[in-house]
Structure 1
Amino acid sequence: MRSLKIRNTPLEVTELGFGASVIGNLYRPTPVADATDALEAAWDAGIRYFDTAPHYGLGLSEIRLGAFLRSRRRDEYVISSKVGRLLVPNERPCGTDTEGFVVRDDLRRQWDFSRDGVLRSIDDTLRRTGLDRLDIVYLHDPDDHWRQAAEEAMPALAGLRDQGVIGAIGAGMNQSVMLARFLRETAADVVMVAGRYTLLDQSALGDVLPAARALGKSVVAAGVFNSGLLSGDRPATGMKYDYQAAPLDLVRRAAAIADVCERHGTTLPAAAIAFPFTHPSVVNVTLGMRTAVQVTRNAELNVRAVPAGLWDELRAHGLLSPDVPRSQSDRAYR
C-alpha cells in the first residue's frame, strides 16, 4: 500500500488507516477474536497507520491495539493516540459507559488540556498499549477548551516533538473551523478532520484545507462514510449520518451520487474513500473497521480506480462543491 509523508515531519503514513474506535466496543461489543482478526487483516492488506484514543472504550481500544502491535517491529508502523480526556476512577459507576461504548464504567473521562494532563495522558496510553512511544499525538475534541488546548496542551506536545519523543502533533475534531486555527496559530503539524471533507460535506474547503495547503501542513480525513450513509452501494432510509438517523434529503443526495458512480463504473463507498484525496493536503483516510471482512472490503475498494470524470460530473450536477480541486498531481507518494 502506498504511503504519503506528513509534511515537515519524519513520518509517512499509509493512505489507509485503521480507526480503532470500534474495537473499543463502540455501540456494541466486539469480541476480542474479531478485533484481532480485523487488525490481522489490516496488516495483511498493508495498512500501517493505526489510530486510537483513551476515550475509545475507556482504554479498551488502546489495550487491544497495543496487544496486537507489540508483536510487530516498532519501525514498521505508525500509531497515533489522543490527549484531553484523562481516565480516572469513577466514584459512582452505573455498570455501563454512557458515552457510546459497551464497557464497564469503572473509569470515567475527565477533561484536561493542561501540560500535566497531557504528560499524564501520554504515560497512561503507553502503559495501556505496552509500547515505548507514540508517533502522532492529537488533542481530542478541544471544541470547548480552545484556550487551554492552544496555550498549554499544544506547547507541551511541541516540546515533546522537538525533543524527538513524538514525531508529529495536531488535533482531531468533528469540525473544521477550529482545526484551521490550530494549523494557523499553533505548532500543529497535522489535523484529523472527521466528516467534514466527504462526498456529502465539503465544509473543510472553506477553512482547514486551504490553511493546510498555504502552510505546507497535512490533513488526515476520518468519517468519510458520514456514520454509514456512504458505506453501501445504495443508501437507504434508516441509515446513519453524523451519528443520527440520516435526513431524507441527504439520503436522496447520496442516491444521486450513487447513480453517477454507477455510470462511471464505480461504487458509492469506493468514491467515498477516494474523494478526500482530491485535495493535495490529505495524506490519509482513516476508517473505523470492526471485522476482517470490513477491512478486506475497504482495502479492495481503495485500490479500485475512480475515474476523474466522476468528480467532473458530480460538479456539473451540483453534487460537489465547485471548489473541489481538479488535480491530484502534487501528492507525494513514496
Structure 2
Amino acid sequence: MTELTTLGFGAAGIGNLYRAVSDEMAAATVEAAWDAGIRYFDTAPHYGLGLSERRLGAVLATKPRGEFAISTKVGRVLVPSANPSGALDAEGFAVPADTVRRWDPSEAGIRRSIEDSLERLGLDSIDIAYLHDPDVYDLQAGISQALPALEKLRAEGLITQIGVGANSADALAACIRGADLDLVMLAGRYTLLEQPALAELLPLCEEHGVGVANVGVYNSGLLARPVVPADAHYNYVPAPAAILDKARALAACCNEFGVDLPTAALKFSLRHPAVRTVVVGAATPEQISQTAERMAATVPDELWEALVARGLLPAEVCA
C-alpha cells in the first residue's frame, strides 16, 4: 500500500455535504488535491449516498493505482428507497433520498459494503476499510461482529489495512482493545480546541502500534476562520458561549505570533507522534490551495508554549 501522505483529502464535500457541487467542480477539486501532492483519499458510502465514492473513483481511475491510497467505510449499507416526491437526504447531503443507510455489522453486510464500494469507485481494490461510527449504532456489535469480519477480509488480502472511525475517543479505545487494528480515524477529539484523546486513546495507539488519521481538526468549522464569528458551530450545533470564548482566546494568542487560527489548528493536529495523517475536506480547488498553504506554513514553537502558559493547551503537548 502507498504510504499515507501527511495531508489527506476528505471526500464528504464532493458528496454534496450541506450544498450541491457540480460533477465538474468535484472532479476539479480531486485533481487539485492530486496536483497539491495529496495521495491519500478518504470517502464513505454515507457521503452523499454513494455520490462521493462515484465522483472520487472517476478521477482516481485515471491515476496510477500504485501511487495513491484510498479508504472507505463499512457498517452502513445502502438499500433502495421509494422516493416519489424527490425528497433530499435527511442527514446533511444535498442528494435525492433514493437510497437509505442501514446498519449491518455482520460479515455478510461488511462484504456487501466493500463490494458495493468497489463498484461505485470503479477500482479493483481498497487500501483501508474503517468501521464507520459504530458507537452511533451498537458499539459492542461492531466490536464482536464487524471487526472480526474486517480482520478476515484483511487476512484474505481483500483489504490491506483496517480501522475504525468515530467521534468518540473512548469508543476507539474500546475497539483497539477488541481487535487488531492498523488505524483509527479520530474526528474532532485531538484538536487545538480540545484534546480528550490524550488521556487514553493516543497512548493506547502508541502502545499497540495503531496509526491515527486525524479528522475534524477545525471542530465543525469553529477553528476554520481567522476570526471566530458569533454564529460559529461546534459539534454540528451552535457553539456555546464558553466554547466561543476559548476559540477567540486561541485566535488572539495565535495572532500575536503572526499565525492565523486555522493554520495553527491544522499544524497542531499533527503534533502527536501517533498521528500519521490529517484528513481535511474540500469541495472546491480553492479550498485545496488554502489547506496546502496552511500545511506549508511555519508555526513557531513559542506559540505552543504561550498557549500552554495561558492554560489553553495542556502542558504535555510541548513535552
TM-score, length basis structure 2 = 0.96
Equivalent of 1:66, from 42, 57, 74?
Answer: 57
Identity percentage of aligned residues? 49
1:92-131 paired onto structure 2 within 5 Å = 94=85, 95-131=87-123
Contact 2:57 2:120 (C-alpha < 8 Å) held by counterparts: yes
Is 1:157 matched up with 2:150?
yes
> How many Å separate the matches in 1 of 2:304 and 2:95?
42
Equivalent of 1:34, from 25, 28, 40?
Answer: 25
TM-score, length basis structure 1 = 0.92
Tell me, which stretches of 5 or more residues in structure 1 are unaligned? Answer: 1-9, 327-334
Is 1:89 matched up with 2:102?
no
Which residue type is aligned with residue 5 of structure 2?
T
Q: Which moved more, 1:24-33 or 1:122-131?
A: 24-33
Is 1:140 matched up with 2:132?
yes
Is 1:12 matched up with 2:9?
no
Equivalent of 2:312, from 305, 313, 319?
Answer: 319
Tell me the CA shift for residue 282 of structure 1: 0.3
Partner of 2:283: 290
Tell me the CA shift for residue 293 of structure 1: 0.5
Which residue type is aligned with residue 321 of structure 1?
P
> How many Å separate the matches in 2 of 1:93 and 1:49?
38
Tell me the CA shift for residue 207 of structure 1: 2.0
Partner of 1:302: 295
Partner of 2:16: 25
Q: Which moved more, 1:26-35 or 1:244-253?
A: 244-253
* CA distances 1:51-93 after superposition (whole Å, capped 9, x unpaired): 0000000000000000010000001100000001000011466
Partner of 1:47: 38
Which residue type is aligned with residue 126 of structure 1?
L
Q: What is the aligned residue count?
A: 317
Tell me the CA shift for residue 147 of structure 1: 2.3
RMSD: 1.2
> How many Å separate the matches in 2 of 1:295 and 1:248?
31
SS at match of 2:298: coil
> How many Å separate the matches in 2 of 1:125 and 1:165?
13
Q: Which moved more, 1:240-249 or 1:225-234?
A: 240-249
> How many Å separate the matches in 1 of 2:107 and 2:238?
38
* CA distances 1:104-146 after superposition (whole Å, capped 9, x unpaired): 1111111001000000000000000100010000000000322
Contact 2:2 2:68 (C-alpha < 8 Å) held by counterparts: no
SS at match of 1:23: helix
Equivalent of 1:232, from 218, 225, 234?
Answer: 225
Tell me the CA shift for residue 204 of structure 1: 0.8
Contact 1:266 1:306 (C-alpha < 8 Å) held by counterparts: yes
> How many Å separate the matches in 2 of 1:30 and 1:97?
15
* CA distances 1:22-60 after superposition (whole Å, capped 9, x unpaired): 111111111112111111111110001110000000000
Tell me the CA shift for residue 200 of structure 1: 0.9
1:182-261 paired onto structure 2 within 5 Å = 182-261=175-254
> How many Å separate the matches in 2 of 1:107 and 1:309?
51
Which residue type is aligned with residue 217 of structure 1?
V
Contact 1:183 1:189 (C-alpha < 8 Å) held by counterparts: no
SS at match of 1:225: coil
> How many Å separate the matches in 2 of 1:300 and 1:167?
31
Tell me the CA shift for residue 184 of structure 1: 2.1
